[in-house]
A and B are shown apart, each in its own frame.
Chain A
């Protein structure tokens, strides 16, 4: 006599294969009907899981990660101690070299065979059928021999490609594919930063590559600004996100660079701040209050980064005068640009400019004092727009009337800053 579980399995198989129905099966085994029926019904209710697919980016990213790990960890063999001998180490090295050669040959073959998929894929864009081939080729390039700095450079070049792709997508009006481009950009920049971090951990010099990342992401920010202005409203969020990715990469690189070379970091940061000032001027000219405010926020964040560089210089005592001088002189120019923009922006953007200028002046004043203590001649005092000076006067009058001298918070300019302003000129 058949066991119950064999009958159950037989019935399930027959029903699922369409060879019989539940009723047929229950009729065949009437004595087991009561026991069989609920189990059959449950078994038939169990379906294949929903067809959830991983994102193409995850697949590529995970493959890169996997190959990376694999090249570092050879499979566990039955006799682990055997692998430790010099002889097997040499074999392993040869194997790795030979693997790298194979990859190199594949990449070269794919690239050299004109008309081949890899070649054709190089111009593909996110959302194109050949785009995964392009990503696959990049992934292969990441697997080619090279230390972490070399690999960071490769990943950074992929990030540059992603920005170009976003620009082309926007020009072609393919807004639905922008998200994929942003995701790829984020991945490529993260890969770059991770490689730099690992290079640092391994004692490699990372100064040049971090400077390149800072410089490149500043450039990306300008390109993405142009794309942002070009796309319709529904696509602005995606490009806004891409700009955030650029900024994140920039600040990360800047923090690393500041530890290596404060003067270079300060110079690059000031150049990036000038880029933001240009953006402020451009958006002010077209009366784009929101654009001005976003650029001001970026400018302020870069200003914070400058303060961090200054703090590092003070802590290490290296190049402190050069850093402070550079920043003090630049502040003068920054205030001039902001003052010009101030006259052109719509009324609603004026408070944001006032806040930024007030903050700049506080920092400038502190810097001038610090330089004076070091015996360095201070740069000329900054120009303060009439409206801010007017507010200054109002606040001073208010302070005179308030016992204890507490500055009331005023919209536009943070309370308590006015007494720190330097002498104003017209």
Chain B
């Protein structure tokens, strides 16, 4: 299942962003309402537990408010900018913990349309994949997540990472090679 989650910025949202840049707290509150679920989901995927996901999510929005003046000149959607802040906070979070927490098995994708055997197998594969994704380096991890999980366009990712689109494709290629190597290694070990 693949869909482009980045549907651009609606005019309502653009207006709210403009008002928030002008220090309008109510507009910023509405932006929070619009995006909190998605930011939380993104962070939860990466930290794997509710308490840390909650702490980091609220911090994302506070950081966004404090730096909203810097968003002005970015071509990326507001949510992509929030994802970048989320990414940086998650990186700091792991750096502080010097450890990697992985998602509990029950929180992983559960496709109820599969047979129980296939569902278990699929869940196992998803766990391995998730672990491998979380072992990728900063930009690689972000490109994989933003493109395949959050559905951003390459142009938007390029804008967030302040890189050229061609470079983003190269990063994605590198990331997929690393994922393949990690997964192969894991399969051999098991």
Contacts and interface: CB of A to CB of B under 8 A. Distances in A.
Contacts of B33: 59, 63
Given A66-B62, A75-B69, A43 B176 contact: yes
B173 A50 contact: no
A272 to B, nearest CB: 32
B107 to A, nearest CB: 6
Contacts of B37: 53-54
Contact of B172 (A5, A17, A48, A102): A5
Contact of A99 (B26, B44, B107): B26
A6 B165 CA distance: 10
A42 B67 contact: no
B176 A39 contact: yes
A394 interface: no
Contacts of A6: 169
B81 to A, nearest CB: 14
Given A46-B133, A65-B58, A99 B41 contact: no
A102 B148 contact: no
Contacts of B44: 49, 52
A85 interface: no
B102 to A, nearest CB: 13
B68 interface: yes
A66 B61 contact: yes
Interface string B108-139: 11100000000000000110010001000000
Interface string B20-58: 000111101100110011001110110000000110011
A75 B65 contact: yes
A271 to B, nearest CB: 37
Contacts of B110: 50
A103 B26 contact: yes
Interface stretch (B6-14, B83-91, B177-185): B177-185
B44 to A, nearest CB: 5
B26 A75 contact: no
A20 B165 CA distance: 23
B1 A48 contact: yes
Interface string A23-66: 00000000000000011001101111111111000110011011
| Chief secondary structure at chain B's binding surface | helix
Contacts of A38: 180
Given A39-B173, A76-B69, A49 B41 contact: yes
Give the interface size bracket for B toward A.
35 or more
B149 interface: yes
A8 interface: yes
A90 interface: no
A366 to B, nearest CB: 44
Q: Name the residue in B24, B25, B149, B172 with the highest tally of chain A Cβ atoms < 10 Å from its Cβ.
A: B25
B173 A45 contact: no
A32 to B, nearest CB: 12
B154 interface: yes
B173 A53 contact: no
Contact of A66 (B3, B58, B149): B58
B42 A49 contact: yes
B144 interface: yes
A54 B36 contact: yes
Contacts of A17: 2
A75 B67 contact: yes
B170 interface: yes
Nearest to A54: B40
Nearest to A15: B2
A82 interface: no
A47 B68 contact: no
Nearest to B176: A39
A45 B54 CA distance: 28
A46 B183 CA distance: 13
B19 to A, nearest CB: 11
A172 interface: no
A347 B20 CA distance: 67
Interface string B61-101: 11001111100000000000000000000000000000000
Contacts of B148: 43, 46-47
A52 B107 contact: yes
Contacts of B126: 45, 47
B28 A62 contact: no
Q: Name the residue in A48, A63, A76, A99 with the highest tally of chain B Cβ atoms < 10 Å from its Cβ.
A: A48
Contacts of A73: 62, 65-66
A46 B176 CA distance: 10
Contacts of A16: 2
Contact of B32 (A50, A66, A102): A66
A70 B5 CA distance: 29
Contacts of A373: none
A195 to B, nearest CB: 18
Contacts of A77: 69
B79 to A, nearest CB: 14
Contacts of B58: 62, 65-66
Contacts of A58: 40, 54
B25 A49 contact: no
Given A48-B151, A69-B62, 8 more contacts: A5-B169, A46-B148, A48-B3, A53-B37, A54-B54, A63-B32, A75-B66, A75-B67
14 contacts: A39-B173, A39-B176, A42-B129, A47-B149, A50-B110, A53-B37, A54-B36, A58-B40, A62-B32, A62-B36, A62-B61, A66-B61, A70-B62, A76-B67
The 7 closest A-B CB pairs, nearest first, are: A16-B2, A49-B45, A5-B173, A62-B58, A46-B148, A54-B40, A39-B176
